Amino acid sequence: MTTQPLAGTSRTSGLRPHTSPRRRPSWAPWWLLSPAGLVMLTVTAAPIVFLIYTSFTDYSQRSLFTGTYHQVGLRQYTALFDDPQFWQALLRSVLFTAAMVAGSIAVGTAVAQLLTRLATAMRLTVTIVLVLAWAMPTVASSLVWKWLFQPGYGVVNWLLTQAGVFGDMTDTDWANDPFLAYLSIWLLIVWQAVPFIALTLYAALTQLPLELQEAARLDGAGEFRVWWSVTLPFLRPTLMLVALLSVIWDFNVFNQIWLVSSGGPDSATTTLGIFAYRTAFVAFKIGQGAALSVITTAILVAITALYIRNLLRSGEDL
Contact 56, 72 (CB under 8 A): yes
Q: Which is nearer to other proteins, 83 or 234 (CB)?
A: 234
Of residues 258 through 297, those in contact with other proteins by CB under 8 A are 258-259, 273, 276-277, 280-281, 286, 289-290, 293-294, 296-297
One residue of 158, 215, 222, 225 binding other proteins per CB under 8 A:
158
Concatenated DSSP letters of 182-204 = HHHHHHHHHHHHHHHHHHHHHHH
First-last CA distance in the chain: 24
One residue of 100, 101, 111, 169 binding other proteins per CB under 8 A:
111
Measured CA to CA, the distance from residue 185 to residue 142 in angstroms comes to 9
Q: How many CB atoms lie within 10 A of CB 63?
A: 17
Indicate the DSSP class of residue 26.
-
Q: Is 232 in the site for other proteins (CB under 8 A)?
A: no
One residue of 74, 91, 102, 139 binding other proteins per CB under 8 A:
139
Contact 169, 76 (CB under 8 A): no
One residue of 98, 128, 215, 232 binding other proteins per CB under 8 A:
128
Of residues 166 through 225, those in contact with other proteins by CB under 8 A are 170, 191, 194, 199-200, 202-208, 210, 213-214
Q: Is 310 in the site for other proteins (CB under 8 A)?
A: no
Q: Is 62 in the site for other proteins (CB under 8 A)?
A: no
The minimum distance between CB 316 and other proteins, in angstroms, equals 10
Measured CA to CA, the distance from residue 40 to residue 18 in angstroms comes to 26
Q: Which is nearer to other proteins, 229 or 234 (CB)?
A: 234
Of residues 33 through 52, those in contact with other proteins by CB under 8 A are 33, 35-37, 39-40, 42-48, 50-51
Q: What are the two backbone dihedrals, phi and then psi, of residue 267, each rounded to the nearest 5 degrees?
A: 55, 25
Q: How many CA atoms lie less than 13 Å away from 6 in the CB half-sphere? A: 3
Single out the residue of 249, 225, 306, 232 nearest to residue 104, CA to CA: 249
Q: Is 5 in the site for other proteins (CB under 8 A)?
A: yes
Q: Is 313 in the site for other proteins (CB under 8 A)?
A: no
The minimum distance between CB 258 and other proteins, in angstroms, equals 8
Q: Is 255 in the site for other proteins (CB under 8 A)?
A: yes
